[in-house]
Amino acid sequence: MKTITIGGKAGDGIKAAGKLFANILSQLGYYVFVLDDYPSLITGGHNFNKISFDKKPIFSHYKETDVLIALDKKTIDKHKKELKKNGIILYDSNSFSYKGAIGIPAQDFVKEVGGIKIMRNVALLGALSYALGIDFKIVKSVLKKVYPEKADKNIVIAQKGYTFAKENVKQILRLKKIGKPKEVMSGNTAIAYGAVRAGLDIYIAYPMTPATSILHYLAKNSQKFKLKVVQPENEISVINMALGSAYAGAKTMIGTSGGGFALMNEALSLAGMSETPIVIVECQRPGPSTGVPTYTSQADLNFVLNAGHGEFPKVVIAPGTNEQAYYKSAEALYLAWKYQVPVILLSDKHLSESLKTFEVKNLKKVKIKTSNGGKNYKRYLITKDGVSPIAFPGTKDSVVKASSYEHDEFGITTEEPEVVKKMQQKRLRKMKAIEKEVEKLEAVKVYGKGKNVIVTWGSSIGAVLEAAKGLKNVKIVQIIYMLPFPKKSVEKHLKNAKKIVCVEANATGQLANLIKLNTGIEIKNKILKYDSREFEPIELLNELKRWLK
């Protein structure tokens, strides 16, 4: 396993450089994981990407660095201590000088071809490619793919960096093609793509980090995907507009973070009462309030589980890897429309914005079983499983109601206690049906075997899987479905454990508390991280070793 760190100021194209090099590595057949770290500034500050790669699947970034690429001096000052013993530093020598590092006159190369300053990152990537022994043909092909209209200048600049490195940099690796090219995708892109593959019709969102890139990706590809993408004026408008489109028969998804989701709670309850299918993506970031807006957290679990006023069925799914984000996004759309309930897909910044290689497979499109309606159509017909026949406006001879008030089977407002009771019972019966459905799905994922159990959720699974490579006699239990909670499966894996530890990125052990609430099993050992940063495998491994003693 090797790691490259690329750093500079906001506006230096650090994220683009990280993604570009991840694509170069994936074209060679390597497994890649990319961490994108940036403050909430448009320009300035310190941005960096960590690109960890291996011949085998990799689930997290690593802090220790083999090559440090610096576009400013601050990058070296901040990350030099992470450099491995035989690691090297490549930097833009036109911007500053640094003793003991290898300077690349990146801006000179850019000026020679009449480029713009941000292109200097490509010169450094060219030098990096030589240092790692990568054939320039691979670099050239990726540049053509990533920058189809601007490839020529970028290729020349990268070639100049590559050629300069031949004369001034000692190769530390010789990376050859080891397998088929792989897809490199962020968690947010995976969520978006999974929903599209499952038949998404409309995506509605107001920009809020770290959910914004779903909006950008789908808006950019809306014509290709034959998808409507809308950005209203605020999050309240987002969810109300989405309920309208779903009422009309369009499979609709919305996205936000904790603050935006807080504004959606009244309309979430409207979805519960009106039995309107909707998928809500909630990408967590540290709170409360604005908190630390461009970093990560897993502190919204309690909030999401208890969101909305009154009692109504809903589903909460928390994928932990980019692959899971892809598949569970489609699953969320399926459950929402089959059971006519709100489904919340709970992500976090680390999952949403980190890049990872994985194989994209086809998904079945969600099919809606609709009613023919008719003059006596009962939108809220009382049924055994609580799911009523659904029809949409325009259905012949049908009045299609959607009510925020309690109502009878036709959707006509009522305050009669017996009717109120029966309708509440009808809606809540859906949870029994959903629980049975979830038993057939991957609600809990188990890795390895052992008497000692590590329990985790969300993006924390990545660091746990990497850390576990250095442990013996350990089983990892990742809980994916938070509501309905997979009680039987969790009990099965925890009840006979010698030791149990819960790993999660919040201050109060929200998953551990949820497990106790549903199973009675108390997890006393917890490794909690709440400094707004993600777990790192080596640091986590050291913590886990102390727990195992």
What whole-number distance in Å separates Cα of residue 94 and Cα of residue 129? 20
Q: Could you say which of 307, 336, 358 is where a domain stops?
A: 358
Question: What is the domain-level CATH number for residue 465?
Answer: 3.40.50.920
pLDDT at 549: 81
Which residue in 191, 473, 203, 434 sits closest to 314, CA to CA? 434
- Environment class of 531 (CB within 10 Å of its CB; exposed 0-12, middle 13-18, buried 19+): exposed
pLDDT at 352: 98
Peptide bond into 484 cis (omega under 30): yes
Query: Do residues 16 and 99 both lie within one domain?
Result: yes
What whole-number distance in Å separates Cα of residue 126 and Cα of residue 120? 10
Is 130 inside any structural domain? yes
Task: Tell me which amino acid residue 234 is.
Answer: N
Query: Do residues 449 and 433 both lie within one domain?
Result: no
Confidence of residue 150 (pLDDT cuts 50, 70, 90): confident
Mean pLDDT of 166-191: 96
Spatial contact of 62 and 50, defined as CB atoms under 8 Å apart = yes
Confidence of residue 155 (pLDDT cuts 50, 70, 90): very high
Give residue 401's domain range: 369-441
Supply 427's token pair. Answer: 């809606």
Spatial contact of 509 and 301, defined as CB atoms under 8 Å apart = no
pLDDT digits (tens, 9 = 90+) for 93-105: 999 999 999 999 9
Mean pLDDT of 396-410: 96
What whole-number distance in Å separates Cα of residue 188 and Cα of residue 175? 29
Q: Could you say which of 181, 215, 236 is where a domain stops?
A: 181
Supply 50's token pair. Answer: 């960590």
pLDDT at 148: 86
pLDDT digits (tens, 9 = 90+) for 368-394: 999 999 999 999 999 999 999 999 999
Q: How many folded domains does the chain comprise?
A: 4
pLDDT at 42 over 90: no
Confidence of residue 401 (pLDDT cuts 50, 70, 90): very high
pLDDT at 359: 86
Query: Do residues 353 and 382 both lie within one domain?
Result: no
Which residue in 15, 17, 3, 29 sits closest to 161, CA to CA? 17
Confidence of residue 548 (pLDDT cuts 50, 70, 90): confident
Angle at Cα 205 formed by Cα 202 and Cα 211, nearest 5°? 115
Length of the chain, in residues:
549
Mean pLDDT of 144-162: 93
How far from each other are the two terminal CA atoms of the chain, in whole angstroms? 27
Is 364 inside any structural domain? no
Query: Do residues 423 and 460 both lie within one domain?
Result: no
pLDDT at 227 over 90: yes
Q: Could you say which of 441, 471, 504 is where a domain stops?
A: 441
Query: Do residues 200 and 75 both lie within one domain?
Result: no
Is 140 inside any structural domain? yes
pLDDT at 43 over 90: no
Which residue in 544, 457, 536, 446 sits closest to 1, CA to CA? 536
What whole-number distance in Å separates Cα of residue 456 and Cα of residue 502? 6
pLDDT at 284 over 90: yes
Is 207 inside any structural domain? yes
Query: Do residues 33 and 62 both lie within one domain?
Result: yes
Peptide bond into 288 cis (omega under 30): yes
The pLDDT > 70 percentage for the chain reads 100
DSSP symbols for 378-428: -TT---SSSPPPB--TT-TT------SS-B-TTS-B---HHHHHHHHHHHH
pLDDT at 83: 97
| SS3 assignment for 492-523 | HHHCCCCEEEEEECCCCCHHHHHHHHHHCCCC
The beta strand positions in 126-201, using DSSP E, are 183-186
Which residue in 284, 287, 230, 221 sits closest to 253, CA to CA? 230
Give the bridge partners for 407, in sequence order: 413
